[in-house]
Structure 1
Amino acid sequence: MGFFDGLRPGRAADFDSGSAATNAIELTKRHSQVSLTRQDAATGNLRINLTWRMRTSDIGGGRESLLRHPLKALRPPEVMGHSQSMVNVDLDLGCLYELTDGTKGVVQPLGGLLGDVNAPPYVKLSGDDRFGSASGETIYVNLDHREAIKRLLVFVYIYDQTPAFDRTHAIVTLYPSNGPRIEIGLDERHPQARSCAVVMIENLKDELVVRREVRFVYGFQAELDRLYGWGLQWGRGYKAKAEK
């Protein structure tokens, strides 16, 4: 049985939650949160997607002489897709969870902690995209069990031996079962940061609220844990070798 079949037997199409054709809500420092409950989007499966691209300055773009093309200095930095042969970037998507019964844990590629969407923690990582493909990495949250969820912290971290956040253009997008998608861009320049707390999803008095965080840290999951008071014990983790 495939992954999507396991999520909801016979209804794989339900995971096309949200639509790229609808308007998007961009969470910013000034407008940092939105209520899924008030938008009638607090049921069904919430799809959380991470995609990233390299900036052209790191893949050979932008190197032509400004003396020959002076107007290029006035253009914004171009962002292009990339392949494994160009760069070695591995951004990973993860989620710290806390349930209303006190259960705490993490869903992430490291350690194969992929979660479960039909049983606690009701959070499931679909896979590990190591090269920034168009589909990126995706986490599913089963909001039909929202009463069991206290808070979820979605984060992005850089796996070992990869460039820092200032060399990539990353976007985390939330696709609710109803209404517009929600976008959070990771465009701030933090060249030494290894992890970023992107968005918090909290159940506040029976209202499901999505709040932008975008807090970069120079450590990994343990530092995010300390910052948000999760209280988990952390050890060194490794990934399985990528399939060729």
Structure 2
Amino acid sequence: MENYRVVLTKEAPRMSLPADAGRMRVTLNWNAGGPAPIDLDLCCLWEFADGSRGCVQAFGGKFSAPRNAAAPVIAHDGDERAGGPEGESMTIDMSQVDVIRRILVFAYIYDGVPNWAAADGVVTVHPVSGPPIEVMLDGSDPRARVCAMFLLRNVGGELRIRREVRYFTRGHRAMDAAYDWGLTWGRGRK
């Protein structure tokens, strides 16, 4: 039972998360090697119950939400350009679930040729209790630089996860429009 995990698939794409207080970890791992190295970034769009919205990402040093809060709801651990064994990660404070309306976790190919198949990415949600939940980044579009991986939604005080794995060839703006986030996007740099 030690290696037990849940894998969200097209056939079984959703589940409820345990309601335990604490920090839930989200990790993105990928194969950065090969003839054309790939730098993936773990990011998320967030919307809180008060209607505020934004993005947690390496661009612009937006590593938490709310930004500069003493107790952020979402906190990114920093940029990992090499794809190493630890990958990139962020945490979500499950004791603040009532603040969350929805969170869309996505990956962005910051550097390298868009080659999701070679990256062989997997995002893993580590709930406060219970087995890890994995989403494989399969079925890719070789022209896409952005992949919406999963959506978290607060339904009556319960956080539910749904596998998305949707690729966007027109980047962040197209993904934003597809999920009706309504953010203003500009060019960014790490």
Q: Same fold (TM over 0.5)?
A: yes
Moved over 4 A (4+): 116-121
Deviation string, structure 1 residues 181-231 (Cα, Å, up to 9, x no partner): 000000213111111100001101122101101111102221111110000
Query: What residue number does 1:228 align with?
Result: 179
Query: What residue number does 2:118 align with?
Result: 167
Report if the CA contact (8 A) 2:38-2:111 is conserved.
no
Query: What residue number does 1:157 align with?
Result: 108
User: Residue 210 of structure 1: which of 154, 161, 182 is its match?
Assistant: 161
The residue identity in structure 2 corresponding to 1:182 is I
CA distance in 2, matches of 1:237, 1:158: 13
Q: Does 1:45 align with 2:11?
A: no
CA distance in 2, matches of 1:172, 1:42: 21
Report if the CA contact (8 A) 1:94-1:155 is conserved.
yes
TM-score (norm. length: structure 2) = 0.92
RMSD of Structure 2 on Structure 1 (CA): 1.9
Report if the CA contact (8 A) 1:47-1:175 is conserved.
yes
CA distance in 1, matches of 2:63, 2:137: 24
1:57-96 aligned at under 5 Å gives the runs 82=33, 86-96=35-45
- Residue 237 of structure 1 aligns to a residue whose secondary structure is coil
TM-score (norm. length: structure 1) = 0.72
- Residue 120 of structure 2 aligns to a residue whose secondary structure is strand
Q: Which has the higher strand share?
A: 2
The Cα of 1:167 is off from its aligned counterpart by 2.2
CA distance in 2, matches of 1:172, 1:214: 10
Query: What residue number does 2:16 align with?
Result: 35
Identical residues among aligned pairs (%): 39
**Runs of at least 5 residues in structure 2 that lack an aligned partner in the other structure:** none
Report if the CA contact (8 A) 1:22-1:181 is conserved.
no
Report if the CA contact (8 A) 2:26-2:126 is conserved.
yes
Query: What residue number does 2:2 align with?
Result: 21
Report if the CA contact (8 A) 1:41-1:179 is conserved.
no
- Residue 130 of structure 2 aligns to a residue whose secondary structure is coil
Q: Which has the higher helix share?
A: 1
Report if the CA contact (8 A) 2:14-2:160 is conserved.
yes
Report if the CA contact (8 A) 2:36-2:112 is conserved.
no
Structure-2 change in CA distance of 1:200 and 1:120 (3 Å)? farther
- Residue 229 of structure 1 aligns to a residue whose secondary structure is coil
Report if the CA contact (8 A) 1:99-1:121 is conserved.
no
1:113-152 aligned at under 5 Å gives the runs 113-116=62-65, 119=70, 122-152=73-103
- Residue 53 of structure 1 aligns to a residue whose secondary structure is coil
The residue identity in structure 2 corresponding to 1:50 is L
